[in-house]
Structure 1
Amino acid sequence: MKRYINFISTILLMAFVWTGCDTEDPELGPAPTSEQVQFTMQPDADNPNLMHFISSSPGFKAIWDFGNGSSATGKEVTGAFPLKGEYTVTLTIFTEGGYAANSKTVTIQNTNPLMLDVPEYNLLTGGAEELAGKTWVVDKENSGHLALGPVGAYTQEWYSAPANSKSAEGLYDDEMTFNLDGFAYTYKNNGNTFVNTNNLAAFGGAGPDDATMPYTPKTGLTWSIVEEEGKKYLIISNGGFMGYYTGVSRYEILKLSENELYVRHLNANVAEQAWYQRFVPKGYSKPKPPKPYQVADLKEDFDEAGTIVWQTDQVKFNENYDNPAPLAPNKSAKVGQYIKQEGQAHEFDNLYTTLAYKMDLTSKNKIKLKVYMPSYNDYVTENGEGWAIKNLLKQVSVKLQNSEAAEPWANQEEVKQEVTKLNEWVVLTFDFSEAAARKDLDRVVIQIGGEGNFIPGIFYIDDIELTQ
């Protein structure tokens, strides 16, 4: 088995043409002809899907194209043909006078399944059991899914795309499917492709910036994996490419696992550029690392920058509002203005913050805040859901939730406090000591005026803090 796999990873070298000469050099000989390009081929005695080739041609270099996406160099080489079929093998020789090529057809009678059971093949395609192949997409949810660095170093020091930063381009909807059957490669771009500025001419465009260009992908493409000087390369046939177009079809594989394909490729028109792309299987999202569990640091007085980043759910909230009654117990200059709007769309208005950690409530488990309820709100009119108290409530509710739950409210911890005094600041304490055993809470919700009613209201809050 190891012998078969080693033959599959053949060496790919770029051909070059010897053109320069000096007036003092000896006179060059005549260019070779295709008739001079001769070679023999013989199947391996143990495995007929391995073919040994020997060149009997003149010249100082012999380069082989096996017609299956792989290549080799040298007078004597071996090509691996795991799939049945006919392959056009081309030998190109180089002499002092020039170069020439000749081809022969290799017929492989049967597919050798053992030669297809290669780890890289299985990871890329899903293996022989995945008849439809494996589809990869750009890893848009993570930074660095498209990056740029110098050719001479494996660093992305010049550019690294933030997560979802190319959502306006024709990149995130591209799908690249690799199939083990026939080594087929299918590129689906939904009508357009994101193109490097220096390669726009191939699409009929012009710079100065990268652009999304209309493009119909080629069909009948194949893929191969070759090894060169200890590095593995993924090669797409006939000018095919993956994702961001830089004019190349050859991708160095930096990492290939079940859920990640990370490649490095050059720019056909900018010699110093090395581009990086990350792909993940279609439908896959990388699991997020668990949040740490720690004592929460919650403090907000609206006069200075606090530790809370506020988010709103329908409610209107002003974090820099002049105190409507700067009297004891709250003489601060600035407070938060909370406006519950009218109508059914605002029956669940609230203010919340989602923390970067899970709350340790074993020692600090009480949330204190000050609230000011104006008497001009309508606390009498009834209009709301049948299951709810239909009037605007003189009430503040604080809820602790697990933001990562499918329905964060379903298993929340809630403490409600009634406000008995209007037109003055009232200090409220919300005791969550009974929830101290929970380790999944990372969201704090403040809801004023009740829920399920359609009545609007204006309220003010200040000095929010988690204490012992």
Structure 2
Amino acid sequence: MKKIKYTIGIFLVVLAVIAGCKEETYEFGDLTAPSNLVINTDIVGISDENPNGDGSGEVVVTVSADNAITYHIGFNKIDDYTAVNYSVLASGTTTHTFTDPGVNTYRISVIAYGPGGVATNLTKDISVRSDYVPDPEVVANITNGSSKTWVVDKDVAGHFGVGPWGSQSPSWWQAGIDEKVTSAPCFYSTTFTFVENANGTYNLVVDASADGAFTKTGANTNLPGIPDSGDEGCYTEYTGGSTSFSFVPSSSGITVDDTYPSTEIAIKLATDDAYIGYGSLQKEYEILVSTSDYLYLRVQGTETGNGWWLKLTPVQ
């Protein structure tokens, strides 16, 4: 009898607790998309004599909107059909340097996010002049004043490295000597010829006819002819190609010091028809070290957050 009374007592206590609980109601509030999104641009040095700026390529961009919590911003040339890489614009204002030589038209793309992730998009096109002149010694080292052919240097450790994009070194992994001779011979047989033309322009010519291109597949590469699926490796569907390129200030923003140097100059390819070392999605390769017999490059990797490091040597 006592056990029955005890059980009934517990049951009544539980009912009292349940009865005393109030159901909480949570609301997101109004999911109103940001409105009145505006992109203001101030091209540095603009004047009647210099309608596209003073040649520094610098532009101060200010973004505002009603009901916006945060902004994402991206930049690309108007005739560049690659995907825009967005970054968070925390303060609503940034200074961006456009680096392609001469006067070029660029598109600024902004996404304003409101409560619950609702978003509003806006783009603005501006024409900006850049008069950037690279260090002539770096240019001479890479092109030899006319043309010079390079290959990935399989005879040194770390000729290919992987690390976090934004770091100074390939801390995740570095290739050993001859590491991919068997698994990916094209990595070492493909040649990269840098040409300096008489009119001051530059071209890159890639010859991958021996073993194909060393790359990934599908959305992880922009190289023409590469299959939609498959593992990292050599793909004979790509036998070579060419593109114009420019020497531009590096846009990586990675800290440079005595231990981790950089020329702070980058090779920026104009199209996806050619590449350097590895068939990447990116077209800007930062020149870390440049001598007449050694070229050390860093490029943003295929996967988000990855950086790749490449060591090249001239063809003898």
* TM-score, structure 2 as length reference: 0.57
User: Quick check: 1:77 aligned with 2:95?
Assistant: yes
SS in 2 for 1:58: strand
Is this contact kept in 1: 2:151–2:191, CA < 8 A? yes
Q: CA deviation at 1:248?
A: 3.7
Q: 1:187 aligns with which of 205, 208, 211?
A: 205
User: Quick check: 1:226 aligned with 2:243?
Assistant: no
Q: CA deviation at 1:79?
A: 4.0
Aligned AA for 2:32?
Answer: L
Distance across 1 between alignment mates of 2:201 and 2:249: 10
- Residue of structure 1 in register with 2:235 after alignment: 212
1:10-159 alignment, distance < 5 Å = 24=28, 27-30=31-34, 36-41=38-43, 43=45, 48-51=54-57, 53-55=59-61, 57-59=63-65, 60=71, 63-65=74-76, 75=93, 77=95, 79=97, 83-84=101-102, 86-96=103-113, 97-106=119-128, 115-118=132-135, 121-122=138-139, 125-126=142-143, 130=145, 132-140=146-154, 142-144=155-157, 146-151=159-164, 154-155=170-171, 157=173, 159=175
- Residue of structure 2 in register with 1:369 after alignment: none
Q: CA deviation at 1:88?
A: 0.6
Distance across 1 between alignment mates of 2:214 and 2:288: 22
**Uncovered stretches (5+) of structure 2, i.e. residues with no partner:** 1-25, 66-70, 114-118, 257-263
SS in 2 for 1:122: helix
Q: CA deviation at 1:229?
A: 3.5
**Uncovered stretches (5+) of structure 1, i.e. residues with no partner:** 1-21, 284-468
Q: Which has the higher contact order (CA 8 A, sep 6+)?
A: 2
Aligned length: 248
- Residue of structure 2 in register with 1:281 after alignment: 314
RMSD, aligned α-carbons: 4.5
User: Quick check: 1:169 aligned with 2:194?
Assistant: no
- Residue of structure 2 in register with 1:258 after alignment: 292
Aligned AA for 2:178?
Answer: P
Q: CA deviation at 1:156?
A: 6.7
* TM-score, structure 1 as length reference: 0.41
Aligned AA for 1:213?
Answer: T
Q: CA deviation at 1:78?
A: 6.3
Is this contact kept in 2: 1:247–1:267, CA < 8 A? yes
Percentage of matched positions with identical amino acids: 12
Aligned AA for 2:313?
Answer: V
Q: CA deviation at 1:102?
A: 1.5
Distance across 2 between alignment mates of 1:248 and 1:83: 19
1:281-430 alignment, distance < 5 Å = 281-283=314-316
Q: CA deviation at 1:243?
A: 2.0
Aligned AA for 1:122?
Answer: V
**Counterparts in 2 of 1:146 and 1:83: CA distance versus 1, 3 Å:** closer
